[in-house]
Amino acid sequence: MSASKKWILGLLPVVLLALMIVGLFSGMDRLIPRANIPLEEIHFDRVWTVEGKILAKVTNTGADPVTIAQVTVNDAMWNAEIPKSELGRFDQSDITIPFHWVEGEPYVVTVITSTGAKFTGEIAAAMEVSRATPATFGLYALIGLFVGVIPVLLGMLWKPFVAKLGGKGYTFVLAVTIGLLIFLGVDSLNEAFELADQIPGAFQGVGIILLGGLGSFLILSAVSSYTEARQENSSNYRTKLTVAYLVALGIGIHNFGEGLAIGAAFTLGNVAMGAFLIMGFTLHNITEGLAIVAPVAREKIKGSNLFRHLLLLGAMGGVPAILGTWIGGFVYSPIWSLIFLSIGAGAIFQVVVQVFRLERSESDRATFLTPVGVAGLMTGIVVMYITALFVTA
């Protein structure tokens, strides 16, 4: 059979299915008469204040087009600048309301459509949001440095201690690493599902979690398999170093999500929450440095190479917190937060598999299921749980 015939046979079911769907939906109104009721839904992506103005960004997440006819602030009609008032599905619009707001006061912004439907967004306590200036960029970079980079580098100082541990001691540390990563992965998934409940159903939050989490898991698995195939004849040191970099990558994506949370807290005017998150994440992240260096802790690396690798590992694990803080502080989007939380969860669970395989390849058995391994796993989970209390309390 020729190649063209194979492609025709392969595409035939898809084409027939597409024709069936088009025909079904084109005749749906005749089969099932639809009530003449507009299905409107406007979602407030963000509401914030700057000097003399209240700003909002809205998205049409309903099935039908919508026209914004009027805007109110605390139930009072108000003139507003709406460059794009007619919105199709998933169209966005920026709303600017000249308003002399009072710091600390709550405000409710309501948009009224041409059909009279009302949709609201709230500011719990008005506060001028930081603008993108060199000073604020530097401030957010400093926050990311304290939250991500410094704690991770401090945690990596455990390398000399781990290097001197014997077989059971090293197994215990690797098991602790697994416990730390499992907690981070579950925590990322939990945050992702909480955020998925907050975004409009039209964006299919659970679908984003599945695509991001499973996608990152499979992609990293493919990269790991490709790397192992190329390093088949190389030293075990190279394999362990690859695992360390994968751990740093997974933790870096997770820290990116933490940076988004901190930046968003400041953007939304919740300074107390932002400061609380900084303190909590700083303590929480010091254990991540141990997880990064544990796979190569007992490997003998020359001084210059050791410094280079540790610097790169620390940067991969910590610097994303700075990037996340910038994005969360200036262009926060709950959709992108959900995407990166999902990607981070998938990456972390893939790293768990890699560390498990690393230990099993050395001992030819699952040492994590021994009393020492179980104790290490539970220790890692308990340590992360205790430090997480400082973030969620």
DSSP states of 312-364 as a string? HHHHHHHHHHHHHHHHHHHS--HHHHHHHHHHHHHHHHHHHHHHHHHHHHHHS
What per-residue confidence (pLDDT) applies to 119? 94
| Contact indicator for 224, 354 with CB cutoff of 8 Å | yes
- Give the list of residues 6+ apart from residue 206 with CB closer than 8 angstroms, or none: 193, 196
Q: Tens of pLDDT along 23-40?
A: 665 655 555 555 556 678
Q: Tens of pLDDT along 173-184?
A: 888 888 888 888
* pLDDT higher than threshold 60 for residue 366: no
pTM, full prediction: 0.73
Least Cα distance to 180 among 251, 271, 107 occurs for: 251
Instruction: Give the residue-averaged pLDDT of 307-327.
Output: 88
pLDDT range class, residue 295, cuts 50, 70, 90: confident
* pLDDT higher than threshold 90 for residue 283: no
At 52, phi and psi to the nearest 5?
75, 10
Which pair of tokens denotes residue 285? Answer: 């992240």
**Best mean pLDDT range from 93-97, 143-147, 160-164, 348-352:** 93-97
Which pair of tokens denotes residue 165? Answer: 């541990």
Q: Which residue has the higher pLDDT, 370 or 35?
A: 370
pLDDT range class, residue 269, cuts 50, 70, 90: low
Q: How open is the CA angle 238-243-245, to the nearest 5 degrees?
A: 95
User: Count of alpha carbons within 13 Å of 174, Cβ hemisphere only?
Assistant: 34
Instruction: Give the residue-averaged pLDDT of 266-277.
Output: 62
The single residue listed with the structure tokens 């781990």 is: 162
What per-residue confidence (pLDDT) applies to 67? 94
What per-residue confidence (pLDDT) applies to 72? 95
What per-residue confidence (pLDDT) applies to 117? 92
At 39, phi and psi to the nearest 5?
-100, 80
Q: Which amino acid is at 113?
A: T
Instruction: Give the residue-averaged pLDDT of 264-292.
Output: 70
Instruction: Give the residue-averaged pLDDT of 110-130.
Output: 87
Helix (H) or strand (E) holding 289, with range, is helix 271-293
What per-residue confidence (pLDDT) applies to 275? 63
Q: Which residue has the higher pLDDT, 282 or 51?
A: 51
What per-residue confidence (pLDDT) applies to 169? 84
What per-residue confidence (pLDDT) applies to 74? 93
Which pair of tokens denotes residue 48? Answer: 């914030």
Instruction: Give the residue-averaged pLDDT of 63-68.
Output: 90
Instruction: Give the residue-averaged pLDDT of 329-337.
Output: 79
Q: Tens of pLDDT along 200-249?
A: 888 888 999 999 999 989 988 887 777 766 655 555 667 778 888 888 88
CA-CA distance, 364 to 94, in Å (whole number)? 60
What per-residue confidence (pLDDT) applies to 220? 83
CA-CA distance, 64 to 34, in Å (whole number)? 13
Instruction: Give the residue-averaged pLDDT of 360-371.
Output: 64
Question: What are the CB-based long-range contacts (under 8 Å, 24+) for 242-245?
Answer: 243/295, 243/296, 243/351, 243/354, 243/355, 243/358, 244/292, 244/293, 244/294, 244/295, 244/296, 244/309, 244/313, 245/312, 245/313, 245/316
What per-residue confidence (pLDDT) applies to 393? 46
Number of neighbouring beta carbons within 10 Å of residue 56: 21
